[in-house]
Structure 1
């Protein structure tokens, strides 16, 4: 990446930690040798799709680099390349120090437990302690290798090996993760598994820490603990994140993988999100204005060329009996003049790539036809039982009613029942006590926290995501976005949950390009699939939108656009979120705090 300062053409800002050769990184206290992470002109792509193109990163110890960009821009791919999980097709990655990675998705081995992850993370600490014991036991005070002893002691001190078990227990507790070492990972929720792995990696104290969307499954207390840990991290931290507050609180630089007008990613030295966003917005405005001007110029060029060549057939003809070659001579002159015009205008042309997509939120209706008045959606005293005699949700004496254009912000710690409440509002979870009423004709769009929940309709049922079980689910993942969207529309139509005059075309939303919608869903990134889920929630032009952690996996630019759209839409909206910036942006909404 030849990084340029956001919005100022041709002004090099340099790579993270400084431009030019890799600087001599300051040693981490107690570490053996300097710690740094370097990506030199790294290029990587998948079959038929380039992702990273000559990306440069130089990060010495103390760097906390935030990686942002649109979904599908290559953020998670860059993290995997930096970690060594993917080999670059060109360029090189150099790592000095140990590496720990927390990816968005965790493949769970059969019978793996919380203790399995703890053991894997502390393997290096155990090895360092064992190494020190061996060196001490075999050390001869007259002939022993003092350098080896010093190295072994330094490594144990750097890892604080004597404190490792307490650190793991503290991290799991502060992040709200299960602590029982015998708990099977496949019995935990996605969020619980993520928190277990994150806690283990933090306790591991690796020199280079690579995190992919670490705040997705954390509540406010967990985010505060994570923030404190990252701010004190002595080595290198690279974080892919959409969390705008985390960018403000932690990062020393922001790397935006979205291409700029010259096709290159941009490194922003300003660490305040508002500063970065302002610079990027200004650059995008210039880009879109330049693209529009170039399109108009190209259209004028085409018109002039058509007129020039068309004139050849209407050229003045000499009288009979005169010089028969005169008309041919004049014709050749016109051809040469037209060709010179083409050459001059093409030389003046500037190739401007198509600007990135921009969210076009649909005009959602506030009430159905024939609406008699009253709440669109009403849930009273809901209770949903859970396992082990513990209720997932119990709001005795509480009524949640949504009028037309109503707003509600649902907050609370992990496990407080936010997702359960949204499931009760959507009608996808049966109530063990209480009542749910949905006004006739009201359509409800649902964006669940984990995967697509589709759109429910007035009878409280919903079109299943993959009717027919896992085989159908696999087939659906191999569908293109266009095909999957059309299939979902047909399912909703059959269920009586779709007004064909209000259908929202997926390509009109600016969430995914037509090229991405032509690809199988399984080939899309996690963030792109999340965008598709959001599109499906809007498909039937719902009167009520229920959004569970809507910022998860989305790019920060889209989060800004979505927040503005939710504030302005005519539909009623319920948002459950832990995102601190979104909560601040929606602070004037009525709030229901659970737990």
Structure 2
């Protein structure tokens, strides 16, 4: 269906990946994972023919459809936006040829027959019914203005465009972004039922586990393919890494032994060459000198043999396991426990302008609970979190009722668009905003562990995507706040960072309020769930 042979690509003078060889077979379900910035989107665009590889070949006769992470939606209706360009052209040609039939010419009749056949092959006679079914399944109305859609609706529109564009291979870049649980479930069923092949770049572990059969990982410029869906593939990777660590440890032990023996032989050779001839009797001086010379030669020769053996060992040395510095570690005081009753809410009503989002809400939160907010797009998860932590009046968001936090509690709040980082200029300021008690030495220590050049004085705006991700996790790791309020914290995180966040939340001793669509994170972390539906909160 699609084949990559020794494909390499660079961005300016910087290599993105090299030597990639990959076959996409019929009905393939291939996951594509990797850190942010590793080149996943670039690789998908090469497969789609939207970019050219700097070396190597991308071949195949399959029809390819590509869905990008972001797309521009112009002033048009939903139905027009999902109509394939080829069908639009065929429809225009059919209408033009039909208008010429009144002339009664044979050539016009032949042109109409050809145009109608092209329209039929483009799926014209079936399209309206198919489009109506797809749009209904995705809860989109064909007359809606595409430019006014919400983030989740735009993602569903992009999926509808893809579904209604016949292809043999679908390339999907983060297809579950902005989709609620119902949208993701619909997408899973579509992928599972389709006879086409799929390459799916996604950070959604539950989605990948549900639909994929192989997993490819872009890591430090190399693509490695593992059998199985994400969880099975990562189990295989962990076993391979464990074996790699054992092999490297054995290599280090053997090399150390060779080095130790070589140094001992060199020391003996030097000692033999520096013998004290005055200690030998006159008759034995020549014999003693010969013995010393012989000892020097033997030990020096053995040292050279050991040096060559070390060089041969180094040539065949197993690769050193990669040291992932995603999470930082500092000796910080424990989070203080704080009051038992963390939050009390009575008769809360939340509205955006004149639109009521939530009403008659009563909640109680106790220390140590990890509460996950769920609900469809637009149900009010972000509005609820914003209302709970709102300290000053907001021009759009209105809150009434009682919201009472425990006395003396400190909170750490993170928005889904990373707003908290935008308010800081340097790495040091970002860390101090999370924990004002950090010392200058600790700020430099964190910056070093993050791999940030320039230390705490480096500007946040100069950080790469991966460095910003690590800084976000570092802020969560160093905060001593007793409550974490996190709105879609997995947005823009890669899979490894999401799993690091998961471990951090599981070990966090305080209270967590978390809005997320990540079903795996939800399942592993939550001790309670608030489901938002019909302006109400159902405590699950």
Question: What TM-score do you get using the length of structure 2 for normalisation?
Answer: 0.78
* Corresponding position of 1:80: 45
Q: CA deviation at 1:592?
A: 0.7
User: How far apart, in 2, do the equivalents of 1:176 and 1:453 lie?
Assistant: 33
User: CA distance change for structure 1 residues 91 and 132 in 2, over 3 Å: closer, same or farther?
Assistant: farther
Asked if the contact 2:155/2:179 (under 8 Å) is kept, the reply is no
Distance, in Å, in 2 between the alignment partners of 1:502 and 1:545 is 25
Pair 1:421 & 2:384 matched? yes
Question: Structure 1's 511 and 166: CA in aligned 2 closer, same or farther, altered over 3 A?
Answer: farther
Contact 2:486 2:515 in 1 (8 A): yes
Query: Aligned runs of 1:153-552 on 2, under 5 Å?
Result: 153=117, 156=119, 159-164=122-127, 167=130, 171=134, 174-175=137-138, 181-182=144-145, 184=147, 190-258=151-219, 265-271=223-229, 273-311=230-268, 313-315=270-272, 316-319=274-277, 331=296, 334-349=299-314, 350-355=317-322, 357=324, 360=327, 367-368=335-336, 371=338, 373-387=339-353, 389-391=354-356, 393-401=357-365, 403-427=366-390, 430=393, 431-439=398-406, 442-453=409-420, 465-466=422-423, 484-490=426-432, 492=433, 498-500=436-438, 524-525=464-465, 529-552=468-491
Structure 1, unmatched stretches of 5+, are 1-35, 455-464, 468-475, 477-483
Distance 1:41 1:519 in 2: 38
Equivalent position SS for 2:531: strand
Aligned equivalents of 1:583 and 1:233: distance in 2?
28
TM-score computed with the length of structure 1 as normaliser: 0.72
**Conservation of the 8 A alpha-carbon contact between 1:69 and 1:256:** yes
Q: CA offsets per residue over residues 467-497 of structure 1, 9 Å max, x none?
A: 6xxxxxxxx6xxxxxxx4223134x28xxx5
Partners of 1:511 and 1:532 within 8 A in 2: no
For the structure 1 residues 206 and 499, does the alpha-carbon distance in structure 2 shift closer, same or farther, using more than 3 Å as the test? same
Q: Which has the higher helix share?
A: 2
> Once the 2 structures are TM-superposed, how far is the Cα of residue 421 of structure 1 from its aligned partner?
2.0
Alignment partner for residue 592 of structure 1, among 518, 526, 530?
530
1:116-175: CA deviation from partner (whole Å, max 9, x where unpaired): 99448632221244456778989979x9799x959x84x655653334456556555544
Aligned-partner SS, 1:198? helix
Residue 377 of structure 2: SS of its match in structure 1?
coil
With over 3 angstroms needed to count, the CA separation of the structure-2 counterparts of 1:183 and 1:84, relative to structure 1, is closer
Is contact 2:255-2:313 (8 Å) kept?
Answer: no
Verify the 8 A CA contact 2:326 2:450 in the aligned structure 1: no
Q: How far is the alpha carbon of 1:441 from its aligned partner?
A: 5.1
Matched, 1:125 2:87: yes
5+ residue gaps, structure 2: 534-540
State the aligned residue count.
511
Cα separation, 1, equivalents of 2:429 and 2:463 = 18
For residue 578 of structure 1, report the CA deviation from its aligned partner: 2.1
Instruction: Call closer, same or farther: CA 1:520–1:347 in 2, change over 3 Å.
Output: farther
Q: After superposition, what is the alpha-carbon deviation per residue over 1:11-70, rounded to whole angstroms, capped at 9, x for unaligned?
A: xxxxxxxxxxxxxxxxxxxxxxxxx22222111233454332211222244223211234
CA distance in structure 2 between the aligned counterparts of 1:175 and 1:38, rounded to whole angstroms: 32
State the 1:224 CA deviation: 1.8
Residues 500-556 of structure 1 show CA distances to partners (whole Å, capped at 9, x for unaligned) of 26998697699965689999866734x764454333333423322223333444344
Distance 1:67 1:170 in 2: 30
Per-residue deviation, 1:333: 5.1
- Bigger mean CA offset, 158-167 vs 97-106: 158-167
